[in-house]
Chain A
Amino acid sequence: MTELFNLQSASVQFGSVHALMDCALRIQAGERVALIGSNGSGKSTMLRLLHGLLKPSRGILSVDPSAPQAMLFQRPYMLRASVLHNIALGLWLRGTPWAAAKVHALAALERVGLADLAARSAKALSIGQQQRLALARAWALKPRVLLLDEPTASLDPTAKREVEKLMQDFASSGMTLIFSSHNLGQVKRLASRVVYLEQGRVVADLPTRDFFNGPLPLAAENFLRGELG
């Protein structure tokens, strides 16, 4: 299997705040990795680091440059433009001519079931639809790695199911998924591996089944008990 990410003793510091400390993580192609942990544990920082939006303050991060990435943010931002143009912009920014970008964008909208809304203003969509649009925008870039920061955090159950279904489809097409979540049910359904973070440190890194069946380090055990209890 191809190794996509290799993080060695990596730390990220914002001023005096240590967002990540001495983290080690290797991710292979095709994995579905869930990052879990309480608020402020470093999940989003880890995703931003892997995506190249941050540089490690210390340590080494090796990324396979041949694997294109896309990221879905917790609150995806939509431009004051049509649904179609929101997707086409991403493609255009990566070098696709505008006319071709619009054609690809429409295909991406069909993929997530939003083709009928192509001409509508993206700002006018519901939060669930915006999340699907953001997924389409990411998917249109044909990434091999998709990073998702709490992709279903503010969605109702129906929208949550739709987004999860899309994530499952993407994963089954061979895409590597790395996502953060507070929803342990979702982690069980989608992840092949769970990385538990606490105060910027990787405390547990196990296959999903092993993670939920323990034994775990005490901190992860307590988190699990708190979330499930």
Chain B
Amino acid sequence: MNTFSSSLSSAFSLLAGRDALLLDVVLRSLAVSGLACVIASSVGLLLGAWLGVSRFKGRGAVLALLNTALALPSVVVGLVVYLLLSRSGPLGFLGWLFSFNAMVLAQSVLVLPVVMALVRQTIEDADRKHGEQFTSLGAGRLMRSLILLWDERYALLTVLIAAFGRAISEVGAVMVVGGNIDGFTRVMTTSIALETSKGDLPLALALGMVLLGVVLLLNVLISLVKRVVIRT
């Protein structure tokens, strides 16, 4: 308990003192996960919405694969992206391995199924309830998916939180493709793992607190947005 409380107070001092090392890692984490979410969302929102309204042969199999991808271990994603980006891999010419871009790519791949699956479910439910009315107005399948996507925008904010939460809290993928290089590819989760193994618990704890704080802040912001929208 003493170790915990002393680590906690040291963590607060690091946070209050805006420790340069801490800030560097936090900002990089936010940039990697934020960018990965933007990329995954721009693809996943559209594909998920389309899957929600479309009916085709083999759709059941696609959905089963998609739902399975929700449970993808992040180290497996890291491994696949590593193989793709390694010199002998198909994307080796990019020279991205152990870089910021590699981490963004890995997290995008990790988060894409989360966005797609949750959006698909939301849009499919909405389409079952109201889709006929848009068809009656003259909307085809693609247009219906876009209208529902826009109409469900506040519900979909929760999907984005889930996606960001998944991205910022994972450690396996960024560790494998980023390499946890100090000042270059070190992010919060890889840093926590490293500092814990080194026994530097205050820094690890401070990073853990920031990680939780970021997700909490995001949740609060989105709740506020929803409340303001409902009120107006």
Tell me whether A53 and B132 are in contact (CB under 8 A): yes
A73 to B134, CA, bound (A): 11
Q: Which of these binds chain B: A13-21, A57-65, A74-82, A153-161?
A: A74-82
Q: Decide if B125 is an interface residue (CB 8 Å cutoff).
A: no
B133 cross-chain contacts in A, Cβ below 8 A: 73, 76-77
CA distance A3 to B150 in the complex (A): 40
Given the interface pairs A53-B132, A77-B130, the reply to whether A89 lies near B151 with Cβ below 8 Å is: no
In the complex, identify which listed stretch (B49-57, B59-67, B110-118, B137-145) lies at the interface while the others stay far away: B137-145
Residue from the list B138, B151, B153 in contact with A93, Cβ < 8 A: B138
Interface: B227 (CB within 8 A): no
Q: How far is the CA of A121 from the CA of B151 in the complex (A)?
A: 13
Q: Which residues of B contact A77 (CB under 8 A)?
A: 129-130, 133
Residue pair A80, B151 in contact (C-beta under 8 Å): yes
In the complex, the answer to whether B132 meets A48 with C-beta atoms within 8 Å is: yes
A121 to chain B: which residues have CB within 8 Å? 232
Does B129 contact A93, Cβ atoms closer than 8 Å? no
Q: Which of A48, A81, A93 contacts B137 (CB 8 A)?
A: A93
Please tell me which one of the listed residues B130, B137, B232 contacts residue A89 in the complex, with CB atoms under 8 A apart.
B137
Q: A73, B132: Cβ atoms under 8 Å? A: yes
C-alpha gap A73/B232 in the complex (Å): 27
A71: chain B residues within 8 A (beta carbon): 136
CB pair B136–A53 under 8 Å, yes or no, is yes
Q: B232 — which chain A residues lie within 8 A by C-beta?
A: 121
A-B contact pairs, 9 of them (CB 8 A): A73-B136, A77-B129, A77-B133, A80-B153, A80-B154, A81-B151, A90-B137, A93-B137, A93-B139
